[in-house]
Structure 1
């Protein structure tokens, strides 16, 4: 009698994870190369020396466990600041992340010490780069609605602001589909 070989479940899970991450990396790389990001939605929020513009997120599929948050933060002051935390009722927790491409592999990691906002500089949180990661979503993010997020900065303090929810493939607040951005000549 022949013994049946059972697949190693751990190997299958690792293989599926790698395929998912490779697909995510390819999608982000193609989208990032094809589109320019324009985070100017016309609205801004002031917190001390910091100005926050263009906050947005993307619509999610019904069972998506995560979502991203994006915006531009300009430090008009003479001292560095740091985004040290983010929170939202829409998620179990929110992390500050960075994405980078190493070779052909896109890697995402949490920034446990927060995100520096150097004096006199602008830091852009955008798809395929620095971003907020909404973990354990409590409900889908729906295009046309907003999701509130509270940002905590080391020196400037806390601010709550709405992130406009755009299409799944949006590149900036107030923008339509990816194809719309491509036709703008960016």
Structure 2
């Protein structure tokens, strides 16, 4: 993991705060900046896992609020050996999952929803169980904009959406 990760300042309720990502509890809808890009990342969550589960997944909505296209290419986290971008599709009544090895391009104004049974961020070789009520840091890497570090809340095993109590947050440069 890169040792010199940049922290993102949050702009909450129109006021600029110098609080790093993860320091605010229950954040769900931050606008985050990295390099020249501006992204709105909302509805962030991971499901709890059973003990010894080899994989987990992160779900979120990702919108490019900038003026240039960018590509989400990878991610890193201390809770898994590898982070991959995956898609799930139905073919002949069979659900198929595949890694998007080139990542996913996000055009200006475009929104990608990472959700159960669809596009998701796969955590490979989970190093510890993901426990409901806890959080972990996930660093998303973009082709042009660099890295964005987000705090991922862990919800129940069968959850289909982010925690309802999350307050929106916005960032400024």
Following TM superposition, where does structure 1 have runs of at least 4 consecutive aligned residues deviating by more than 4 angstroms? none
Q: Which runs of 5+ in 1 are unaligned?
A: 1-40, 177-186
Q: Which has a greater percent of strand?
A: 2
Larger Rg: 1
Q: TM-score by structure 1 length? A: 0.70
Quote the Cα distance in structure 1 between the aligned partners of 2:146 and 2:120: 19
Partner SS, residue 102 of structure 2: coil
Aligned twin of 1:81: 70
- 1:172 maps onto 2:138 in alignment: no
Q: CA RMSD in A?
A: 1.5
Counterparts of 1:113 and 1:70 in 2: how far apart (Å)? Answer: 19
Q: Which has the higher contact order (CA 8 A, sep 6+)?
A: 2
**Does 1:46 find its partner at 2:32?**
yes
The answer (yes or no) to whether the contact 1:61–1:140 under 8 Å persists in 2 is yes
2:101 is equivalent to residue 112 of structure 1: yes
- Partner residue, 2:82: 93
TM-score, normalised to structure 2, is 0.75
Deviation at 1:158, TM superposition (A): 0.2
Offset of residue 42 of structure 1: 4.4
Question: What's 2:11 paired with?
Answer: none
Gaps of 5+ in 2: 1-26, 166-173
- SS in structure 2 of the partner of residue 173 of structure 1: coil
> Which structure has greater helix proportion?
1
